[in-house]
Structure 1
Amino acid sequence: MSTTRRGGALVDFPPERARTYREAGLWGTATIADEFHRTALAHPDRDAVVAPDGRATYRELDARSDALAAGLAGLGLRAGEPVLFQTGNTLATVVAWYGVLKAGLVPVATLAAHRGHEIGEISRRVGAAAHLVEAGRRFDLVGFALDQGSDHPSLRHVLVVGDDPRGTAVDTLAAGADPARARALVDGIQSGIDPDDVAVFQLSGGTTGVPKVIPRRHAEYWYNAAAYARSWGWTPGTRVAHLIPVIHNAGIACALHAAHSLGACLVLGPPDLDVSLPLMARERATHVLLGHGHFGAVEHPGFPAAAASLTQVVLSGAKVPPALFAHLEGLGLWSGQLFGMGEGLLLTTRPGAPRAARAETVGTPLSPYDEIAVLEPGTETEVSDGEVGELCCRGPYTLPGYFAAPEHNARAFTSDGFYRTGDLAAIRTIDGQRYVSIEGRIKDLINRGGEKVNAEEVELLLLRHPRVTAVAVVAMPDPRLGERTCAVVVTDGAPLDLDEVRRHFAALDVAKFKWPERIEHVDEIPRTLVGKTDKKRLQAEVAAKVGAESSTGAGARS
């Protein structure tokens, strides 16, 4: 039994559901490391990864990660022990990822931006044995890892990608390994791992508290990625560009593992468009996932060259402004949407979906075995199609429970095992097909004197104003109504005043209780460490301003 099961911290899939998924051929009987090795044997000379720091064929990546696995085993790291990752979008990161998996270790997908508040709690919760960091970054991650290891009950090794003598360099660990012996060692390790055991620890994307730990199993996680690749019609000739952090669920399930499930190439660039767009152009990327932070890429002078070979642009992370969708169409680019979560469920508007579905919904579930229900929030009562409720789900790659979080699990799942996503959704029928439309977050409901205002709905309406380029809508305190609506906006020129916003909403024939009652201007919408809009921060800042104005008798800003 793996160390990740100790103390009942791991919630297993119910036996009858696990049996159904395996008998249906969804879950395999191999580990992720063995699945990757099979792909490498089938496509040895194809590009596996191209990144700013180098490139590797499948044969090369397979051999390099075998060698690293042997080096990690030589350090005394044991199968099942977790390894924290804090590295960027590089070839070295990909080698380390597969090397850790091949050694039977469990990558923990933290972010390079995480600090002691997150790492200290997460590393102890999972019992991390090693901390892998990247040298040479602006923030001294090596020194940080050494500090985190001090008086830590389980951390024994600081592993370093790059050159820093304070840690154990992964390049040194892999150097000199005999390929045949390394492969034999990996085979032996993998033969002792259950394909339904934990392969990876992902982290939740919540904005409050330390992220919760999401266990992803070998069989279900590989199925998740392979199904994603098939859903877009990828082939070994597909070249998948990815610019957001790869050590994150979207990076692993929708880019790294997805591409490597069928022999495609991962074109891995950093978030910096000045580097990534030329890389995409040189490598003739055919598919790209643009997170919300990169929606502005279409205005970058390097985008036309990068887009020259694209056949698919997938947009994710926020409601897609109609102008962006239209702009991509004007460039002759096919566009779709992705909505997903580290907890599992992926919804996509795949090839064949009508334009209205691709532009206005997030599509349909990835797997025919995904089950979704839209429930009245706080209940287990399903709402009718067209009505807004909480999106709940269960299926072959959606977690049955967070790791070591029994109290939270009791709130996060229905009595029949559906995960409560916290997202507001509605089912829309377009051309006879039922699609999911995301309508906001439950916690994004503003209670204006008993009238519920959906923040994301108001955001989408504001994005239809020609000068609004980004927006976040939050509640502000009000002594009479409890809450009123404040819109924090980024514009492409002069500020908007409240009267202009009112005229905009009047022209759209929107109910008055939904109209913003305060406008704040910012240069950029703040985001959390995982790239989500930091509404907690915005709400606190607005509340402080409202309080200060109340004490001085000043009026609301416009």
Structure 2
Amino acid sequence: MPWPESAVRTYREEGYWTTEVLGVWPAARAPEARARTALVTRAGVLTHEEVDRAADRMAAGLLGAGLAPGDRVVVQLLDEAELVVLSLALFRTGILPVYALPAHRSAEITHLVSTAGAAAYVCPERVLDCDFRLLAQEVLDRTDSLRQVFVAGDPGPFTALSSVDAEPVALPAPDPEDVALFLLSGGTSGPPKLIPRTHADYAYQLRETARLCGVGPDSVYLAALPVEHNFALGCPGVLGTLRAGGTAVIAPAPTADACFPLIERARVTITSLVPPLVPLWLDAAEWTDHDLSSLEVLQVGGARLDPDTARQVPKALGCTLQQVYGMAEGLLNFTRLDDPEDVIVHTQGRPLSPADEVRVIREDGAEAGPGEV
């Protein structure tokens, strides 16, 4: 990663980058946390201890299957426990996940495998009318690097993800400044670009977003959006919540019908949505019988939220609105929970980190002054 040496020195000296690596978190391994619920999914409930043990076993299984630190793996799974366990296992081994999105099909997956030189692809058995085993075969036929396909469900001619399991072994220790994962660019034109994120910089993101959002051991995060996207993955998302020793609840869909019962049952405290979903939730809140009183923060990002809609959130859902503008490349902006209403309604916040540098230029390339377009 070609970071300028002056930036590296500053990030280390100021404590933005530490020796922390992803996937092994003291708060989640503390004795008082191990028996607490870590994950709630359609398949059931897992404690922090169970997630930790499953990740260690899958890490050993990945190495036993012939993958090695530095190998890239395109990950495209449904939002279930397997996605979280696999992510932790990959972080612990130094094998690098490339997070594909749920809507991607043969063209995008072929592009990602080719661009990353991926050695493996992890996919579900089937989603609606798409048999991902057939898609995987197409990708195998079109690429040179792909050696293995792991399938969550009936694997057909490939390997069942559930069989990637072995007794835990001593794992290689990743360097904190090594690449840990690849996110995808949010651009709307052309194929997605791969964005490398290091252990040190993504760990800072998880740590600082959790602090800013008040996420700790008693927090319950509802992943309504796809977990393979940076917003629900790590802003603070599922990973940031687990790192803090809290609970992540995985919703089968972002609809009010699917999410409101989960909010009531799991006592969800924070969740994230994109703007088109917010009016639907506000409408549903008017007639629902579900108790939403545990919800403290609703994050909204991905596009600008209409100010009139923004004003309705605290009244309809009884929680604080937090607007977010983020880029998978790194820059994240948040309104603060104690910002004035005018700031929360009309802006997408300010940078997460004191080390973030933002320059706004005019059409002629000159730096814009206050109030200038």
TM-score (norm 1): 0.63
The correspondence for 2:282, drawn from 298, 316, 326, is 298
Question: Given that residues 225 and 254 in structure 2 are in contact (C-alpha distance below 8 angstroms), is that contact kept between their aligned partners in structure 1?
Answer: no
Question: CA–CA distance in 2 between the matches of 1:299 and 1:92?
Answer: 33
Partner residue, 1:349: 335
1:147 maps onto 2:146 in alignment: no
Shift of 1:304: 6.0
The correspondence for 2:253, drawn from 271, 291, 295, is 271
Q: What pairs with 1:257-268 in structure 2 (closer than 5 Å)?
A: 257-268=239-250
Give the direction of change, closer, same or farther, for the CA distance of 1:68–1:209 in structure 2 (3 Å limit): same
1:253 maps onto 2:253 in alignment: no
Partner residue, 1:199: 180
Question: Given that residues 20 and 203 in structure 2 are in contact (C-alpha distance below 8 angstroms), is that contact kept between their aligned partners in structure 1?
Answer: no
Partner residue, 1:360: 346
Question: CA–CA distance in 2 between the matches of 1:306 and 1:287?
Answer: 14
Shift of 1:303: 5.6
Shift of 1:41: 1.5
1:225 maps onto 2:180 in alignment: no
The correspondence for 1:284, drawn from 252, 262, 267, is 267
Give the direction of change, closer, same or farther, for the CA distance of 1:227–1:48 in structure 2 (3 Å limit): same
The correspondence for 2:292, drawn from 293, 301, 307, is 307
Partner residue, 2:46: 56
> What are the ranges of 5 or more consecutive residues in structure 2 without an aligned counterpart?
none
Give the 3-state SS of the residue equivalent to 1:50 in structure 2: strand
Partner residue, 1:172: 163
> Match for 1:111: what amino acid?
L
Partner residue, 1:373: 359
Partner residue, 2:310: 325
Question: CA–CA distance in 2 between the matches of 1:348 and 1:358?
Answer: 9
> What are the ranges of 5 or more consecutive residues in structure 1 without an aligned counterpart?
1-10, 389-558
Q: Deviations over 1:290-318 (max 9, x none)?
A: 11242122222686626221011122122
Give the 3-state SS of the residue equivalent to 2:196 in structure 1: strand
Query: Greater share of strand residues, 1 or 2?
Result: 1
Question: Given that residues 121 and 150 in structure 2 are in contact (C-alpha distance below 8 angstroms), is that contact kept between their aligned partners in structure 1?
Answer: yes
Question: Given that residues 51 and 269 in structure 1 are in contact (C-alpha distance below 8 angstroms), is that contact kept between their aligned partners in structure 2?
Answer: yes
Give the direction of change, closer, same or farther, for the CA distance of 1:41–1:167 in structure 2 (3 Å limit): same
Q: Deviations over 1:363-410 (max 9, x none)?
A: 11101111111112462x21111112xxxxxxxxxxxxxxxxxxxxxx
Identity, in percent, stands at 34
Give the 3-state SS of the residue equivalent to 1:77 in structure 2: coil
Question: Given that residues 313 and 319 in structure 2 are in contact (C-alpha distance below 8 angstroms), is that contact kept between their aligned partners in structure 1?
Answer: yes
Partner residue, 1:137: 127
The correspondence for 1:185, drawn from 170, 173, 176, is 170
Question: Given that residues 106 and 138 in structure 2 are in contact (C-alpha distance below 8 angstroms), is that contact kept between their aligned partners in structure 1?
Answer: no
> Match for 1:204: what amino acid?
S
Question: CA–CA distance in 2 between the matches of 1:53 and 1:378?
Answer: 55
1:387 maps onto 2:372 in alignment: yes
Question: CA–CA distance in 1 between the matches of 2:248 and 2:289?
Answer: 20
RMSD: 1.7
Runs of 4+ aligned structure 1 residues displaced above 3 Å come to 301-304
Shift of 1:215: 0.6
1:44 maps onto 2:34 in alignment: yes
Shift of 1:145: 1.1
Question: CA–CA distance in 1 between the matches of 2:44 and 2:221?
Answer: 16
Question: Given that residues 199 and 218 in structure 1 are in contact (C-alpha distance below 8 angstroms), is that contact kept between their aligned partners in structure 2?
Answer: yes
Give the direction of change, closer, same or farther, for the CA distance of 1:300–1:194 in structure 2 (3 Å limit): same
Question: CA–CA distance in 1 between the matches of 2:348 and 2:310?
Answer: 13
Question: CA–CA distance in 1 between the matches of 2:199 and 2:248?
Answer: 20
Give the direction of change, closer, same or farther, for the CA distance of 1:163–1:300 in structure 2 (3 Å limit): farther
Shift of 1:272: 4.4
Question: CA–CA distance in 1 between the matches of 2:50 and 2:138?
Answer: 35
Give the 3-state SS of the residue equivalent to 1:370 in structure 2: coil
Question: CA–CA distance in 2 between the matches of 1:304 and 1:24?
Answer: 48
Question: CA–CA distance in 1 between the matches of 2:218 and 2:332?
Answer: 24
Give the direction of change, closer, same or farther, for the CA distance of 1:136–1:118 in structure 2 (3 Å limit): closer
Question: CA–CA distance in 2 between the matches of 1:130 and 1:306?
Answer: 43
Question: CA–CA distance in 2 between the matches of 1:234 and 1:23?
Answer: 26
Question: Given that residues 28 and 244 in structure 2 are in contact (C-alpha distance below 8 angstroms), is that contact kept between their aligned partners in structure 1?
Answer: no
Shift of 1:230: 0.3
Give the 3-state SS of the residue equivalent to 2:186 in structure 1: coil
Question: CA–CA distance in 1 between the matches of 2:147 and 2:244?
Answer: 36
Partner residue, 2:8: 18
Question: Given that residues 328 and 334 in structure 1 are in contact (C-alpha distance below 8 angstroms), is that contact kept between their aligned partners in structure 2?
Answer: yes
Q: Deviations over 1:73-129 (max 9, x none)?
A: 011101111110111211121111112222321010111211222221221111100
Question: Given that residues 27 and 243 in structure 2 are in contact (C-alpha distance below 8 angstroms), is that contact kept between their aligned partners in structure 1?
Answer: yes
Q: Deviations over 1:494-540 (max 9, x none)?
A: xxxxxxxxxxxxxxxxxxxxxxxxxxxxxxxxxxxxxxxxxxxxxxx
Give the direction of change, closer, same or farther, for the CA distance of 1:136–1:356 in structure 2 (3 Å limit): same
